[in-house]
Chain A
Amino acid sequence: DAKTTQPNSMESNEEEPVHLPCNHSTISGTDYIHWYRQLPSQGPEYVIHGLTSNVNNRMASLAIAEDRKSSTLILHRATLRDAAVYYCILRDAGGGADGLTFGKGTHLIIQP
Chain B
Amino acid sequence: NAGVTQTPKFQVLKTGQSMTLQCAQDMNHEYMSWYRQDPGMGLRLIHYSVGAGITDQGEVPNGYNVSRSTTEDFPLRLLSAAPSQTSVYFCASKNRAYEQYFGPGTRLTVT
Q: Report A's interface with B, CB cutoff 8 A.
A: 32, 34, 36, 41-46, 49, 87, 91, 95, 97-105
Q: How far is the CA of A95 from the CA of B50 in the complex (A)?
A: 12
- 8 A-B contacts (beta carbon < 8 Å): A46-B99, A49-B99, A91-B98, A95-B96, A97-B50, A98-B48, A100-B100, A104-B42
Of B31, B43, B94, which one neighbours A44 at CB under 8 angstroms?
B43
CB atoms of A95 and B97 under 8 A apart: yes
CB atoms of B48 and A32 under 8 A apart: no
Residue of A nearest to B42 (CB): A102
Which B54-99 residues sit within 8 Å CB-CB of chain A? 56, 58, 90, 92, 94, 96-99
Which B1-60 residues sit within 8 Å CB-CB of chain A? 4, 30-31, 33, 35, 40-45, 48-50, 56, 58
Count of residues in B whose CB is under 8 Å from the partner chain: 29
Which 4 pairs, one residue from A and one from B, show the smallest C-beta to C-beta distance? A43-B102, A102-B42, A99-B45, A102-B43
Contacts of B105 in A (CB 8 A): 41-43
Chain A interface, >50% SS class: loop
Contacts of A42 in B (CB 8 A): 104-105
CB atoms of A105 and B99 under 8 A apart: no
Contacts of A32 in B (CB 8 A): 98
Apart from the given pairs A87-B42, A100-B43, A102-B42, 16 other A-B contacts in the complex at a CB distance below 8 Å:
A34-B98, A43-B4, A43-B92, A44-B90, A46-B99, A95-B96, A95-B97, A97-B48, A98-B33, A98-B48, A99-B35, A99-B45, A99-B48, A99-B92, A100-B100, A104-B42
Contacts of B45 in A (CB 8 A): 98-101
Residue of A nearest to B32 (CB): A97
Q: How far is the CA of A110 from the CA of B45 in the complex (A)?
A: 30
CB atoms of A99 and B104 under 8 A apart: no
CB atoms of A44 and B41 under 8 A apart: no
Contacts of B44 in A (CB 8 A): 102
Q: B103: shortest Cβ distance to chain A, in Å? A: 6
